[in-house]
Structure 1
Amino acid sequence: MYPEHHKNEKTVIKTVQELLLSEEDKSLITPEKIIETVDSLLSMKLYAKFRENLDYDFVIDELIRRNSIWIGQDSILINNIGHVAWLTTERKKDWRYWERYKEWQEKKLDWVSLNALDKSTDEILGLLEDPTRKDAWDRRGLVVGHVQSGKTGNFTGLICKAADAGYKIIIVLAGMHNNLRSQTQMRLDEGFLGYETHPDPEKIKIIGVGNIDSGALRPNYVTNRTQNGDLSKKLAEVTGITPEHRPWLFVVKKNKTVLKRLHKWILDNAANTIDPKTGLKIVTNLPLLVIDDEADHASVDTGEQIFDELGEAKEDYQPKAINRRIRKLLQLFSRKAYVGYTATPFANIFIHERGETKKEGKDLFPESFILNLASPSNYIGPSRIFGLNDGSGSRKAQLPIIHEIDDHNTNDGLTGWMPIKHDSKHEPYHDSEFGIPLSLVEAIDAFILSCGVRQARKQGAEHSSMLIHVTRFNLVQNHVHKKVDEYIKNVSQRLIRGIDNQAILNRLERLWENDFIPTNKQMNSDLPDLCVESLPSWEKVKELLPEVIEQVIVRKINGTAKDALDYADSASGLKVIAIGGDKLARGLTLEGLCVSYFLRASKMYDTLMQMGRWFGYRTGYLDLCRLYTTSELIEWFEHIADASLELREEFNLMVESGGTPRDYGLKVKSHPVLMVTSPLKMRTAKTLKLSFSGTVSETVSFLKDEKVLKNNFEALTHLINLLDHPQTKPLRLREHTNTHKLSSNNFYWEGISYTHILDFLEQYITHPESIKANSKMLKSFIEKMAEAGQLTSWNIALMGGSIKDHPVQLSDSLILHKAQRTSNGRHEDRYAIRRLLSPTDEALDLSNEEWDAALIRTIEIFKAENPGKPVNVSNPSGINCRYIRGNGVNGNKGRPDQGLLIIYLPEDVENNNFEVQRLHPFVGFACSFPYSKLSEEVEYKVNNIEWESYYGPAS
């Protein structure tokens, strides 16, 4: 982390950190305590020499940062049938692999994160089986983390503990490509093996944890970190199991040939008996642990297994190649544990829990547990970068690092430097003097400045990266690489020689003045917990530019191991501009990612999340990070930020209600163009089953076609005419709060028959791309629930807005004002808004007792997710309103039979100059469904070819 001449700071920080770790009450570690400990250390004769050239303020700031991090609580769904609890404190005594890994991590991790790592790996290992247990057992789980959040560090810790406990064969399934496999191997070399794996035993050297015990612990390795270090035919032929007690580590690609080779190697070298049931050779004396990194990718069977009327699987079905090979590996062992790791678990949840075949055994459904890892407060995820919906349609706390670009193609998106649709023959051309869009020039300049600032901040020995992700075609990437490399060489020559450099310096200084200074100022003000760094002077940065630009290299990422090796082999911090496509889309870590230029897009939730390489930890340089992307991608990632929060809340509800992985039905918020995952990964290939219980479905996209507008308006007036005289002011007055302002332009009906809701939904036409706000699907769901005795009675609210001009006559006695809503981009065919529902409106039919209970739950969840942060919650969240409505409070029976329909007439006052003069208003509705223990579902049919033609391929 520190250059050679800053070793004093490194030594002082490490020593003080160790002293602070010995403090039993960690709440006593205040800034004052840190300063006192540093001063005390430096006053000791032994450490007096470190005061020379010591940057005292830097030491204090770094220690305060390390000790001001908090982490929320992990949540977990468990099925312990057949499981025997075994992991005790006594059992953990003398665990040497874990202890050296822990000591190694102490140099880098704050104590809160280290304790969380210890706790979560204990939890996971304890849910697996005791490797010394002699009878047959099979445990399968899933760990859900966040993109770029440290999942590799977590499973490295788990592997260390598993080796200590007695697991003998450890297989890590490390992605689809050589670079990711090699990167994972290198991380495990450092954190578990303690030495650099190499095909030549004479060239092995001690690294990482090996330096702690001088390499005394030496697990066996088969694969190595080189480009061809996967399990090759030659390697398999010369490697054999030895009878010693050391564990064996395999780090392999998810490649059918490699997995087949590994299967044969284990069969030939480790199988020790015959399974009496199958007559096949199996391993009974060596317990197996399989870690499946990016478990939603390639591991999931994308075929469609047939199930009979009793739900039993047809055993002669043949799964897809990689899924089949993984399952056959597991079949080889009588004692085995499988743990998948992913940030996007959607495909894994869709695995059929009863999927099983005679040859391959059970499918990879995480039947034993699903653990949701909490992220530390210094993790920069979707909600940090893109903010959260504040309920009014605008974003709250969005980072000022996002730059919208539109000069990469023409307005219609069909031509230009990088059109939306292009093939491998496309030759990107731009008429700027640089041959690339000026937005890309600015992004590269921002990266150069970021490297300069990091150098001034004593982070020059750390890696700095820039991502350019604009096409999936290698040939097109070659063109981009050539032009970017030309630009860097041109800038480099001028800055290093100091000749003809004024235009470049002027451009960089303008960017500095107009972007870097205001951004730093705003982030230091808005995010004091994450950003406390000041900028050096422009003169200081300008002075460093020749040194920095000389180190910048431009590299294509094409899947070879060399791409990953450069980071590890760089003596000083690597400064790299990485140009790539699909190889950059999943798993591969770009160390020190500062600037991203991102055009590629899928419309599938999991693929988009994985493409977000800019998520992660940005300690000490968050204010220097930049994301250059399109308005459409910003919109989609904003949705992801909101949906991610809701998904976690849904998961926590299931945990609280005692659910198991089999009970867990994943629910994803509606979006007009965003899908969960490829239907091929949904295990049923053509059918998506949806349950709406406990969710809210709202229309956020409206067709502009006048016939549709008239139809939907008539659907509303027809509903109104069926109802009796309404109550006004549906929002209950919460006498002990000032959060609800009552309006006379609201109308409310209680106890309405579900048949009226069905009639309204039958007539209403939703946008054809909408899935979870699809009127016909909602109608089918309500019908199914009503047959089971739920959702039979509805409350209806008609909510007037703030637009007093042109009120709408709905009946002889009912006039409604339109509600102002923020548009979400300009579209030819539709009016799109960010949010229809005003969040407080979901609580309008709760009694005061229910409202209070929902608010208490909301506050408790906020505290658990944000320990140490001041509680700024005055209204119950929608998900807790739905939970209380369905479950009741204080022993009172809930109301799972009662739904809530809220209707608005949305309008965008600022941008309502549509091409067609509208004779009828837009009609929007939100269905708020109470929590229910019923598992009624409706089917959504989809053709995969049509799906991919619109949504793009999955990652």
Structure 2
Amino acid sequence: MGDAAIEQKVIKFAQELIADEEKTAVTPAFISDIIDQVLKLRAGWASAIDRETVQTELIRRFSMWMGENATLKNDAGHETWLNAQRKSRWRYWQRYREYLERRMATSVVDGLDEVTDDILALLEDPLRGGSWDRRGMVVGHVQSGKTGNYTGLICKAADAGYKIIIVLAGIHNNLRSQTQMRLDEGFLGYETHPDPEAIRPIGVGELDADPAIRPNYVTNRSNNGDFNAAVANKLGISPEKRPWLFVVKKNKSVLEKLNKWVRNHVADSEDPQTGKRTVTNLPLLLVDDEADHASVDTGADIVDEDGRPNDDHQPKAINSLIRKLLISFSKSAYVGYTATPFANIFIHERGATAEEGPDLFPASFIINLGAPSNYVGPARLFGRPTENGRFGSLPVVRHIEDWSTDEDTAGWMFSKHKSGHFPMFEGRSDLPDSLKQAIDAFLLVCAIRHLRGQESQHSSMLVHVTRFTAVQGHVFDQVEAYLKAQRQRLVRGVDSAGVLERLRALYEADFAQTTTKIRISDPDLEVQEAPAWDAVEAVLADAVADIEVRKINGTAKDVLDYADAKGPGLKVIAVGGDKLSRGLTLEGLSVSYFLRSSKMYDTLMQMGRWFGYRPGYIDLCRLYCTRELSEWFGHIADASEELREEFEMMAASGGTPRDFGLKVQSHPVLMVTSRMKMRAARTLMLSFSGQLLETVSFSTDKTKIQQNMRAATELLERLGKPKSPDEIRRMRGGTEQTWQGRVWQDVGHHAVLDFLRTYTTSENALKARSNLIADFVESLAREGELQSWTVAVMGGTGADFAPLPGFKLATRQVDKEFATSKDYRIGRLLSPRDEAIDLDEAEWTRALAIAKAAWQKDPGRRAAEPEEPNGPAVRFVRGTSGGSSGLLLLYPIDPARSGHSAVQSIGLPIIGIGVSFPTSELGTKIPYSVNNVAWELQYGSAE
């Protein structure tokens, strides 16, 4: 076992020497030689370190790379200012960079340096005179280092001359405290404390503690360290060299006090007409962490029917107070950070009021951050949907089968339980078997990480089954009782045979096999071989002896303050609810157990605490959740990828945040973000422009299957003889592509409309709803668009399809996750290339060029450079090539090869449809009316 502090020094020195070399020269042998050189610097180092640990870490760091960032911006009124000369004497950034280099790969630190330069350059020069106001948003991946990014930005902003830096850190004490601790380490350089005498240097302060640059602090890391009246009364700020840092909650009372103090004690100017007091001499940087949460105005009537701002509108309290804070400074910059920008994009750009000024729409810029190559996000975890099921997912999800459904009012934790619920399993106060297995899995994780030399790193497990604090208390008691019983048997060796046999069975059936699978499928994750069971058993007692269970209910002491933990890594099972589902980082999170089934995109994304960095133990991570939650997480991954592709296309073509805002505001799946944040309590205005809709969920009701078959048969009779009598052929980049199918071109929209009005989609379809699609087609046809269509019937290797001689049915296997569900569900209906079936060779080549120009190398998504045009590019080309026709794809699916017993017994082909809409400049939308009951049935509560 090596001395961790000395190992860190050796790694840092070696990294600096290696960084000077050409990348191609950095081989494992070269790294080994460099380690030898470093060990000669001091006697005793060689015997104090675990050489293999040092070498493995250096190889990991030098095999890493950073994803690329994409930016949409609006430079109106902005003056370019940031250059190398301006940066040459920046001390806050320099010490933060050195601090990061001790624990991160040089390539990652370089990437952070570059992107924080980009963000800062999009803000105004703090030394610029006059009044200015810049508002932007940084979109990161969930758990991908947003805090590190804005800490770097704050350091640079302070170096550049921003004097007041306010960080809005969530709505709970625990997140505010955690953020304060991170900024203590990365920016202030000392541990903030209510007693100024108790301050000690930490983090960057250990590298450069010069009091001449020491920033001033107003808030501290304690539970009640937020901005308050007592602090405000003692605080006086005068224009001086050193910046001031405030880390505050998004809390009405706190923000009111802060606004009042700014007006009364900091403002140096007063408008003679209105009496409004303003700060003109101190530039403000306001960083809004989790910017989609609490900051967004959820009120109605932002604008009138003609889109003009409603002066009488009263924004919600937090939103109003943030905006008042910004307009209290004549020089201000607002940067919102989020992984879930859906709600922010719905902010109305023109939603200004006299009292608050403009709303928080990121009008100046939106930056999409790429992730480092060791990041594991939703697309990596859940894979991508294909016509043969989801592809490329990591085999770490385990489905919970012993959970009660929505209709149940019995069971351990049924979904509609109240705050007085006492969880009972099979009539006794006990955990369900699935949660016991999840805890067993965590015991194995701790043991295996111990064997891998990771015992000094933190390990944690998350249990998130209820939002009620009282119910969390019962769960805590039950988890602790179960853990205590297992630990006593293992540590004391009394009655341990049954526990060891159960753990051995889980290890052999799950862990050993999963590790082997990931080593084969994802060699870049550098997973070690699974150890022999005997080795695991030998360390189990030591590994589980110090596991503790903690409740996370929102106080600062709940923050798992790993930074202050000395000695071996903490091993914690955290039992919590909503306060765990936003922002709070659980270090070393490896096992998650989830029952909450909110279907709001932003809520679900934020619940994904298990995304992030798992160096050396991603194969040990487990997500226990219901099948339904697993399906929704897949939808999240897909919608996020779709949005990023759209974003990159706009960035490549010089689009602005407003262009992207208009695109997202009509996105049919993003209805699923909180309805309140969309300010449309009863009616959603949808546009399918530039969208692909495909059916992946089908009713197994025989009448509906017959009706859809009749709709398809009537359409085919109306279309007559197909253009392609046998198969569809198209030239693609000089080679011919073929499809099993038939095609008709220049089809009038009335035929398509009649089909859509007769065809019925499943009630469980998220966005492919035939009645809404028909309404949209009709509304655009009235405007002169979508009057011409290409219709294709796509086949495969199935049985004969009677309406088309010589045509073979398509085959689509049931998604194995839903083989027993009432509906017949598949992964994807379309093969990605199908959507380009109506493009000629020149259009196809143009679409591929657009897709390649927009492509960003981003490991958070693991998408390879496109060899074929992606959907957004195809729809863009179709919409800008003059004809602007729609594409309707029909897939008659062979029931015998569906893999679903109900479909097989009915014996009729299932008709799947795909509709690809060209990008339209018209902005036509259709109303989609829902009442609150219907909404909650479909998507779950907004809470």
| Equivalent residue for 2:15, pick from 9, 13, 17 | 17
Q: Which amino acid aligns with 1:551?
A: D
Cα offsets for 1:708-741 (capped at 9, x unmatched): 3333333222322222311234532447788845
Q: What residue in structure 1 maps to residue 592 of structure 2?
A: 596
**Is 2:637 the counterpart of 1:634?**
no
In structure 1, distance between residues paired with 2:777 and 2:268: 56
**Aligned match of 1:718 in 703, 714, 731?**
714
Aligned to 1:748: 743
Question: 1:630 & 1:208 partners in 2: Cα distance?
Answer: 41
Residues 1:111 and 2:106 are matched in the alignment: yes
Which residue type is aligned with residue 644 of structure 1?
S
**Matched residue, 1:80:** 75
Return closer, same or farther for 1:656/1:206 CA change in 2, 3 Å cut-off: same
Equivalent AA in structure 2 for residue 312 of structure 1: R
Paired with 1:638 and 1:620, the residues of 2 have a C-alpha distance of 25
Task: Name whichever of 136-145 and 470-479 sits farther off.
Answer: 470-479
Identify the residue that residue 446 of structure 2 maps to in structure 1: 451
CA shift digits 1:863-892 (9 cap, x unpaired): 7346999968654333332233334xxxxx
1:236 maps to which residue?
232
* Alignment-derived partner of residue 35 in structure 1: 32
Q: Secondary structure at the match of 1:747?
A: strand
Once the two structures are overlaid, the 10-residue window that deviates more, 759-768 or 135-144, is: 759-768
Q: Secondary structure at the residue paired with 1:52?
A: helix
Secondary structure, aligned partner of 2:466: coil
Determine helix, strand or coil for the equivalent of 1:719. Answer: helix
The DSSP-based 3-state class of the residue aligned with 2:337 is strand
CA distance in 2, matches of 1:355, 1:115: 38
CA–CA distance in 1 between the matches of 2:736 and 2:470? 58
CA contact (8 A) 2:812 2:826 kept: no
Alignment correspondent of 1:177: 172
Give the secondary structure class of the aligned counterpart of 1:694.
coil
Contact 2:2 2:48 in 1 (8 A): no
Aligned position for 1:912: 900
Partner of 1:881: 874
For 1:530, the aligned partner's letter is: L
490-499 or 205-214, which moves further after superposition?
490-499
Give how far 1:434 is off.
8.7
Q: Cα deviation per residue 1:676-712 (whole Å; 9 max; x = unaligned)?
A: 3011001334333332222211122223334433333
The one-letter amino acid of 1:927's match is: V
Look up the SS of the partner of 1:798 in the other structure.
strand
**Stretch deviating more after TM superposition (160-169 or 627-636):** 627-636
Amino acid at match of 1:567: Y
Deviation string 1:759-811 (CA, Å, 9 cap, x unpaired) is 2222322234545312232223223333443322111001123221xx44337
Instruction: Please give the alpha-carbon distance, in whole angstroms, between the structure 2 residues aligned to 1:821 and 1:898.
Output: 31
2: distance between equivalents of 1:669 and 1:925?
Answer: 25
Counterpart check, 1:844 vs 2:837? yes
Identity of aligned residues (%): 53
Partner of residue 224, structure 1: 220
Question: Residue 351 of structure 1 is aligned with which of 343, 347, 350?
Answer: 347
Pairing 1:577–2:573 present: yes
Please identify, of 911-920 and 360-369, the stretch whose mean Cα deviation from structure 2 is larger: 911-920
Aligned to 1:930: 918
Question: In structure 1, what is the Cα distance between the partners aligned to 2:847 and 2:229?
Answer: 61
* CA offsets 1:463-502 (integer angstroms, 9 cap, x no match): 1110011111222211111111011111222222222222
Give the Cα–Cα distance (whole angstroms) in 1 for the partners of residues 381 and 281 of structure 2: 49
Asked if residue 98 in structure 1 is aligned to residue 82 in structure 2, the reply is no
Question: What SS does structure 1 have at the residue aligned with 2:818?
Answer: coil
Matched, 1:897 2:884: yes
Which residue of the partner structure matches residue 951 of structure 1? 939
Structure 1 CA distance, aligned partners of 2:931 and 2:937?
A: 10
Q: Which amino acid aligns with 2:823?
A: R
Q: CA deviation at 1:433?
A: 9.3
The structure-2 alpha-carbon separation of the partners of 1:310 and 1:413, relative to structure 1 and needing over 3 Å to count, comes to closer
Equivalent position to 2:520, from 520, 525, 539 = 525
Contact 2:879–2:918 (CA under 8 A) maintained in structure 1: yes
Q: Which residue identity is paired with 1:534?
A: E
TM-aligned CA distance change 1:433 to 1:770, over 3 Å: closer
Contact 1:732 1:845 in 2 (8 A): no
- The alpha-carbon deviation at position 27 of structure 1 amounts to 4.6
Counterpart in the other structure of 1:820: 812
Kindly state the Cα deviation for residue 562 of structure 1 after the two structures are TM-superposed.
0.6
Look up the match of 1:732: 729
Q: CA-to-partner distance for each residue in 1:587-644, whole Å, 9 max, x for gaps?
A: 1111110111111111121111111110010012112111111111111112222222
1:325 maps to 2:321: yes
The letter for the 2-side match of 1:830 is: D
- For the residue of structure 1 that corresponds to 2:809, the secondary structure is strand
Give the SS at the match of 1:361. Answer: coil
Alignment deviations for residues 828-851 of structure 1 (CA, whole Å, 9 cap, x no partner): 653332212122211211222333
1:115 CA displacement: 1.1
Cα distance 1:871–1:182, how it changes in 2: closer, same or farther (>3 A)? Answer: closer
Which residue does the alignment assign to 2:484?
489
Shift in alpha-carbon separation, 1:528–1:665, aligned structure 2, 3 A: same
The reply on whether 1:52 has 2:39 as its aligned counterpart is no
Aligned equivalents of 1:411, 1:325: Cα separation in 2: 39
* Local SS of the residue matching 1:594: strand
Match of residue 382 from structure 1: 378
Contact 1:730-1:797 at 8 Å conserved across structures: no
CA RMSD of aligned residues (A): 2.7
Q: Please state whether the residue corresponding to 2:92 is helix, strand or coil.
A: helix
Q: Does 1:562 align with 2:554?
A: no
Unaligned runs of 5+ in 1: 888-893
Q: If the length of structure 2 is used for normalisation, what is the TM-score? A: 0.94
Q: Give the paired residue count.
A: 938
Relative distance call for 1:277 and 1:904 in structure 2 (3 A) is farther
| Aligned residue type for 1:820 | R
| 1:427-466 deviation line (CA, Å, top 9, x unaligned) | 2122499921222112111111211222232322221110
Q: 1:202 to 1:613 in 2, by over 3 A?
A: same
Residue number in structure 2 paired with 1:207:
202
Shifted more, 318-327 versus 795-804: the winner is 795-804
Q: Secondary structure at the match of 1:905?
A: strand
CA change 1:354–1:168 in 2 (3 A) is same
In structure 2, the CA distance between the partners of 1:898 and 1:130, relative to structure 1 (3 Å rule), is same
Structure 2 residues not aligned, in runs of 5+: none
Equivalents in 1 of 2:495, 2:603: separation in Å? Answer: 44
The equivalent residue for 1:890 is none
1:941 aligned to which of 926, 929, 932: 929
Please say if 1:191 is aligned against 2:181. Answer: no
> Could you say which residue in structure 2 is the equivalent of 1:605?
601
TM-score normalised by L of structure 1: 0.93
CA gap of 1:863–1:499, structure 2 versus 1, over 3 A, is same
My pick for the range that moved more, 681-690 or 376-385, is 681-690
CA–CA distance in 1 between the matches of 2:314 and 2:297?
10
Contact 1:789–1:897 (Cα < 8 Å) also in 2: no
* Distance in 1 between residues matched to 2:690 and 2:613, nearest whole Å: 33
Distance 1:668-1:387 versus aligned 2 partners, 3 A rule: farther
| Residue of structure 2 equivalent to 1:864 | 857
Quick one: structure 1 residues 193 and 8, their matched pair in 2 at CA, closer, same or farther if it must change by over 3 Å? closer
Q: Structure 2 CA distance, aligned partners of 1:752 and 1:822?
A: 32
Query: Distance in 2 between the 1:633 and 1:619 partners?
Result: 26
Is it true that 1:692 corresponds to 2:680 in the alignment?
Answer: no
Q: Given residue 877 of structure 1, which amino acid in structure 2 is its aligned partner?
A: N
1:704 to 1:869, Cα distance in 2 relative to 1, 3 A: closer
Q: Does the 8 A contact of 1:896 with 1:930 survive in 2?
A: no
Mean Cα displacement is larger for which, 607-616 or 749-758?
Answer: 749-758
Aligned to 1:166: 161
Query: 1:920: how far off?
Result: 5.0
Letter in 1 for 2:722: P
The farther-off stretch of 611-620 and 912-921 is: 912-921
1:900/1:910 Cα in 2 relative to 1: closer, same or farther (>3 Å)?
closer
Per the alignment, do residues 424 and 915 of structure 1 end up closer, same or farther by CA in structure 2, a change over 3 Å counting?
farther
How far off is 1:185 after superposition?
A: 0.7
CA distance in 2, matches of 1:565, 1:664: 38
